[in-house]
Copies of this chain bind each other. A is one copy, B any other.
Amino acid sequence: MMIKDEAFPVEPWQVRETELHHDLLPQSESLFALSNGHIGLRGNLDEGEPYGLPGTYLNGFYEIRPLPYAEAGFGYPEDGQSIVNVTNGKIIRLLVDDEPFDTRYGQLLSHERILDMRAGVLRRCAEWKSPAGKHIRLNTVRMVSLAQRGLAAIEYEVEAVDDPVRVTLQSELVANEDQPSPSDDPRVAAVLVNPLAPVMHEVSENGALLVHRTRSSGLMMAAAMDHVVEAPGRLDLSGDAGEDWARTTVVCGLEPGQRLRVVKYLAYGWSSLRSRPALRDQAAAAIASARYTGWQGLLDEQRRYLDDFWDCADVEVEGDADCQQAVRFGLFHVMQASARAERRAIPSKGLTGSGYDGHSFWDTEGFVLPVLTYTAPAAAADALRWRSSTLEMAQARAEELDLHGACFPWRTIRGQECSAYWPAGTAGFHVNADIAMAFERYRVVTGDHSLEAECGLAVLVNTARMWHSLGHRDRYGRWRIDGVTGPDEYTAVVRDNVFTNLMAAANLRAAAEACRRNPDAAGELGVGLEEIATWCDTADAVHIPYDEELGVHPQCDGFTTLREWDFDDNTRYPLLLHEPYVRLYPAQVVKQADLVLAMQLQSHAFTAEQKARNVDYYERRTTRDSSLSACTQAVMCADVGHLELAHDYTYEAALIDLRDLHRNTADGLHLASLAGSWTALVAGFGGLRDDDGVLALDPHLPSGISRLRFRLRWREFRVTVDTDHDCVTYTLRDGPRSRLLIRHAGEQLELSTDEPTRVPVRPRVPLLPPPQQPPGREPLGRQRDRGGD
C-alpha cells in the first residue's frame, strides 16, 4: 500500500502518524526504527503484535548460511551472512482487566506516533476501549541511547480514564521470534529459523537476562532488562524466564486518572570472543549505568547529542516543506545508522530492517560517508576504520581472484564476500575505488591526516595494487580495465566502464600521493619509488572512451552502439523483475546513474558541454530501478541547469521512504537515498564539489525553493552557506586561521571568520532543453503532490 500524505503530515522536525493503519505497519516499523548504529529497534508496537516484520538487530551480529548454486564456479562464496533478528526486548504487553490491549480488538479511540528528530525518541499516545468497555490512555516513549551505546529504554505509562481498572503489564525478552515468510523478490532477506541457541537465562529482582549463541557463526549475545515501576497503590512484581523468553509482570489497580508508569531499561552486548560471564556483566553494567543516569538523564543526554549533531548537519529548505522534513528525516537516520557503529559496518538499510540480509555495499562509501564526512566526521572515520579492519580478508579474496593487493567484498557483514551472483558482485570492482577515495575525501575535507597514517595508506596501497593487476595496457599503450561492472547493473561485465576507469585512476594517484606523504610507512608496505611511478603512469594512460559522433561518453566501451531498449513494449519496472539479464545487459538501458555519477565524483574530468550532453543522453535511458540513482540525477541535472528536474529528483530521493516510492520500505530504509537527499540539496543546488581538493560551491536554487541554508565542516572550519535566488552568504566559524580560500562559481573566493561574505548567485544556463525520461519513469511523486505544476 502506498503511503498517502495524510498519514504523515509534513512537519519540519518530526514524523507524525496520526492514526494507525495496520496495513502500513511494515513501512511504519521502518520509518519509526530507532538505532544508535549498534542497537537497532524496528518501530514495532510495544505489545508485539500485529506486526509487519519484528526486528531487533545488533550491528555485526549475523549467522552464516550456505549459498546454494545449481551450477557452481571457482571462487563463488560458499557461505552467506545474514543479520539475525535478536532477542526482542521492546515487548510490553498490557492486560486491562484480563483483556489484552490489542489494536485489532476493542475500540481504538485515538492513536498517534511521533518520531521526534530533535529529542531522538519515538512517542506513542493511544486511547483505547477494551471489548468490555474499559477506557485507558497509553503514553510511551522509546529511545535507543546515543550516549550509552549498549542501552535502549522505554517509558510506559497507562492511565485509567473512566472506570477503575486492574492492569497487568508483562515486560518481556523474546528470542527466536516467528518471522513472516519471505517473498520472491531477490532483494529481500533470507529467513533464518531459530537462529539463536540458548546459553543461559537468569531472573533478577526487577528484570531478567538471556544469553544466546548463533549456531554456525558462533557469536554470543546477551540481552538484559530492568524496570523502575511507579504505581499509585498496591503493586505486585514478579519475574520468570525460560530458554527463549523472560518476563517481568507488574499488576496493580488504577482509579480513573491514576497512572502506572514503568521505565524499562534494555541492555545488549555481543561478542565473538568474550565469555558468557563477561557478556552477562557487560549487560548488567549497562543496566546499572542507566539506572544511575535515570530516565530524564537519558533524555537529556540524547537531546545534547542531537543538538550537537544538528548544529553542523542541519539543512534548511524554505518553500518546500516536504523536502525540509525529508532531508532531516534522512540525516536523522544516517546519524542513527552510524553514530555508535564504532568499527562495525553501516549496512545499506542501517539497522531498520533485514532487507539485503543486513549487508553493507558500496552504498556506505559511495553515498553515506560523503554526507558524514561533512557533518559527523568522527562517524565517517569509524566507518572507514571498520573497512580497514577487513583488509586481510580483502587480501585473501584478491589472492583467490589471482589479483594483487586487496579486493573488498561487494556485499558483506563481517568482511567476506557474500555475493552469490558475480556479474553484479565480484565484477563490481569499483567498490575498491569507492572505498579508497572515501579515505581520500575524509583527508581532504577534514584535513585530518592521522587516519591515513593509521590505516588509510594500507587501503590505498592495496587497492592501487589490485587495480594495477586488474587492468592492462593494450597495444596502443592505453590502460584498460575489462570484464567489470560499473554502478549500472543493467550492463555488466564490460570494457572500460568510464566510472570505474576514472575512479581507478584516481585511486592510483591518491595512493601514489599518500605514499609520498608517508614514505616510511609506504616502505614498510613494500612500496618503492618505482611502484609509485608505475601507478602514476598507469593513471595517466587510462582509456576513457568517447563517442565523437554523438558527442557523449559511452558508459562503457561500445555502449552507445548497443541496441536501444524498446520502451514502447517493455516498461514494467523495476525491469529486473520482468526481464532477463541476457536481454538487459546488451541494451542501452540504465538501472542507475553510472556515467552521470562519474561526472559528479570526477567532475574535473568533463567539460560543461560534455556534462550537458551526457546528462541529456543518459536521462532518456535511465529507469532508476535502483534507489542509488535519483540523488545523483538530481546533482547532475542541477549542474547542467535543469533545476526543476533536479528538484523533482531531490524529492524522489528524499521522500523514497516517507512515501514508500520503491514499495519496499517495509524491508528497511534506503539509507543511501536518504543520505542522497542531503547530497541532492548540497551538491545539487549548493554546487558542492571536492574532487579537486578545494571546497567548491556554486549555489543556484530551483523555483520551488526560496532559500537554502546548510552547514559544512571543512578542515578546522564550520561553513554555513545561506542562499536565495540572488545571493549567497558564506559564514565561517571556528578555525585557527581566520581565512579560507574556496571556489565560488568556479572563481576563487576568500572567506573570513570576521564577517560573512555575500556574493551573487551565478545563474546556470542550460545548454539543452530538459530531457525526457523513459515512459513511466518521470521522477516519482512530486508532480502529483504539486498538483501538476
Output the least CB separation between A623 and chain B (Å): 14
The answer to whether B69 touches A70, judged by C-beta atoms less than 8 angstroms apart, is: yes
Supposing A557-B558, A570-B402 touch, asked if A472 and B563 sit within 8 A by C-beta, the answer is yes
The answer to whether B70 touches A420, judged by C-beta atoms less than 8 angstroms apart, is: yes
Interface residues of A in 64-107 (CB under 8 A from B): 67-76, 80
Bound-state Cα–Cα, A562 to B473, Å: 9
* B-contacting 9-mer, from A130-138, A233-241, A572-580: A572-580
Let me know if A427 is at the binding interface, CB within 8 A: yes
Let me know if A228 is at the binding interface, CB within 8 A: no
Let me know if A386 is at the binding interface, CB within 8 A: no
Q: How many copies does the complex hold?
A: 2
The answer to whether B426 touches A580, judged by C-beta atoms less than 8 angstroms apart, is: yes
The answer to whether A72 touches B186, judged by C-beta atoms less than 8 angstroms apart, is: yes
* B-contacting 9-mer, from A11-19, A207-215, A475-483: A475-483
Residue of B nearest to A411 (CB): B71
* B-contacting 9-mer, from A439-447, A581-589, A636-644: A581-589
Residues of B within 8 A of A72 (CB): 184, 186
Supposing A423-B423, A482-B586, A563-B472 touch, asked if A580 and B73 sit within 8 A by C-beta, the answer is yes
Bound-state Cα–Cα, A402 to B493, Å: 22
Output the least CB separation between A78 and chain B (Å): 10
Name which of A419, A557, A563 has the most chain B CB atoms within 10 A of its CB: A563
Output the least CB separation between A732 and chain B (Å): 48
Residue of B nearest to A566 (CB): B402
Let me know if A495 is at the binding interface, CB within 8 A: yes
Supposing A495-B558, A561-B475 touch, asked if A576 and B74 sit within 8 A by C-beta, the answer is yes
Let me know if A401 is at the binding interface, CB within 8 A: yes
The answer to whether A186 touches B563, judged by C-beta atoms less than 8 angstroms apart, is: no
Interface residues of A in 537-585 (CB under 8 A from B): 549, 557-558, 561-564, 569-570, 576-583, 585
Name which of A76, A402, A562 has the most chain B CB atoms within 10 A of its CB: A402
Bound-state Cα–Cα, A421 to B70, Å: 8
The answer to whether B582 touches A427, judged by C-beta atoms less than 8 angstroms apart, is: yes
Classify chain A's interface size.
Answer: 35 or more
The answer to whether A74 touches B426, judged by C-beta atoms less than 8 angstroms apart, is: no
Residue of B nearest to A562 (CB): B482
The answer to whether B422 touches A582, judged by C-beta atoms less than 8 angstroms apart, is: yes
Interface residues of A in 141-198 (CB under 8 A from B): 184, 186
Let me know if A474 is at the binding interface, CB within 8 A: yes
Residues of B within 8 A of A426 (CB): 580, 582
Let me know if A448 is at the binding interface, CB within 8 A: no
Instruction: Mark A422-450 against chain B: 1 for CB-CB distance below 8 A, else 0.
Output: 11011100000000000000000000000
Bound-state Cα–Cα, A403 to B581, Å: 13
Let me know if A454 is at the binding interface, CB within 8 A: no
Let me know if A400 is at the binding interface, CB within 8 A: yes
Bound-state Cα–Cα, A186 to B585, Å: 25
Output the least CB separation between A725 and chain B (Å): 42
Name which of A68, A549, A570, A576 has the most chain B CB atoms within 10 A of its CB: A68
Residues of B within 8 A of A580 (CB): 73-76, 400-402, 422, 426
Residues of B within 8 A of A71 (CB): 186, 419-421, 425
The answer to whether B583 touches A401, judged by C-beta atoms less than 8 angstroms apart, is: yes
The answer to whether A73 touches B493, judged by C-beta atoms less than 8 angstroms apart, is: no
Output the least CB separation between A538 and chain B (Å): 14
Residues of B within 8 A of A423 (CB): 423, 493
Bound-state Cα–Cα, A484 to B569, Å: 22
Bound-state Cα–Cα, A472 to B578, Å: 21
Residues of B within 8 A of A492 (CB): 493
Residue of B nearest to A67 (CB): B70
Output the least CB separation between A337 and chain B (Å): 24
The answer to whether A576 touches B73, judged by C-beta atoms less than 8 angstroms apart, is: yes
Name which of A400, A577, A586 has the most chain B CB atoms within 10 A of its CB: A586
Output the least CB separation between A410 and chain B (Å): 11
Residue in contact with A80 in the complex, picked from B69, B70, B80, CB distance below 8 Å: B70
Residues of B within 8 A of A73 (CB): 186, 421, 576, 580-581
Residues of B within 8 A of A403 (CB): 583
Residue in contact with A583 in the complex, picked from B402, B578, B581, CB distance below 8 Å: B402
Binding site for B on A (CB under 8 A): 67-76, 80, 184, 186, 400-403, 419-423, 425-427, 472, 474-475, 480, 482-484, 492-493, 495, 549, 557-558, 561-564, 569-570, 576-583, 585-587
Task: List, sorted by A's number, 16 A–B pairs whose CB atoms are closer than 8 Å.
Answer: A69-B69, A70-B420, A71-B186, A71-B420, A71-B421, A72-B186, A74-B576, A401-B583, A402-B569, A426-B580, A427-B582, A472-B564, A475-B549, A482-B563, A483-B582, A493-B493
The 7 A-B residue pairs with the shortest CB-CB distance in the complex, in nearest-first order = A483-B586, A70-B420, A75-B580, A482-B586, A68-B68, A67-B70, A472-B563
